[in-house]
Amino acid sequence: MLLEGRKAIVTGASSGIGKATALRLAAEGAQVCLNYYSDNDKPGAKQAVKEIAKAGGHAIALQADVGREDDVTRLVSRAASEFGGLDLLVNNAGIENQVALIEMPLATWERVLRTNLTGAFLCLREAAKLMIAAKSGVVVNVSSVHEFIPWPGYAHYCSSKGGLKLLMETAARELAPSGVRVVNVAPGAIMTPINERLLEHPKEEHTVEEEIPLGRMGSAEEVAGAIAWVASAEADYVTGTTLVVDGGMSLYPKFV
């Protein structure tokens, strides 16, 4: 097992990539705290906790809005006291919606930045305090190919993911002397609830698939596998970089 005895938090773990990651980390031997956002998300997180317990693992579910400082402080300290420490944080929580730049209300911009970037910063800051004291730990941010590919209609989302790239690189430098690694995993188009609208329109889905050299969207489990590997000792010399998991999407297949 890749992560025997590790103590992990996964944010936004009630669905999609976060839930698949929590299940995979547990299957690799980690104790996992599944963070969920709201009452609507609670059943997804609780069901995963049950599944992990049934397989003989140890998991808990904790509510928190990653964009609220007091919520994050509570999340990290409760997870660490439950497990007796924290050595892996997966900053996965994220949201998006399509809005033309000139029509984007400030509140919409701020909501996406607060969740995707400020949320990752707050969790990273709180987790890093414990990891520095323990002189080891790994932080994995689930960014996106949109940390480097511009996407019309998603200026707030791209700004948040681009921000995650330099946050990761800066944190990697700052924390390396304390034995803490920081990396991004950048998925391409993955079949999860965030892409619900796309998956309900086969024509649009096909257009996206044409942008992917491997010819298909990815699964949450395929992203979870990459996160488990990069979090493990197998990747002990990997820090300050982005692992792209996109079926080749970022190779711009339509460019001739």
> Which runs of consecutive H residues, i.e. helices, occur in 66-183?
69-83, 106-113, 119-134, 155-175
Residue from 35, 91, 144, 239 binding ligand BGC (CB under 6 A): 144
**157 catalytic residue (yes or no):** yes
194 binds ligand NAI (CB under 6 A): yes
Give the pair of three-digit tokens for residue 223.
Answer: 């992203």
Q: Which stretch binds ligand NAI (CB under 6 A): 46-54, 72-80, 188-196, 201-209?
A: 188-196
Give the CA-trace dihedral at 41, 45, 46, 52, to 10 degrees: 170
For the bound state, the minimum distance from the C-beta of residue 246 to ligand BGC, rounded and expressed in Å, comes to 8
189 lines the binding site for ligand NAI (CB under 6 A)? yes
Nearer to ligand NAI, 4 or 204 (CB): 204
Residue pair 172/164 in contact (Cβ under 8 Å)? The answer is no
Half-sphere exposure of residue 144, counting CA atoms within 13 Å on the CB side? 23
Strand partners, 32: 8, 59
Per-residue interface string for the shown chain with ligand NAI, residues 85-114, x marking contact by CB under 6 A: -------xxxx-------------------
Least Cα distance to 229 among 13, 221, 50, 125 occurs for: 221
Q: How far apart are CA 36 and CA 164, in angstroms?
A: 21
Range 8-67, binding ligand NAI (CB under 6 A)? 11-12, 14-18, 35, 37, 41, 65-67
Whether residue 124 contacts residue 73, with contact meaning beta carbons closer than 8 Å, is answered with: no
Region near ligand BGC per CB under 6 A, out of 107-115, 143-151, 162-170, 233-241: 143-151
Show which residues are catalytic: 157
Residues that bind ligand NAI (CB under 6 A): 11-12, 14-18, 35, 37, 41, 65-67, 92-95, 115, 119, 142, 144, 187, 189-190, 192-195
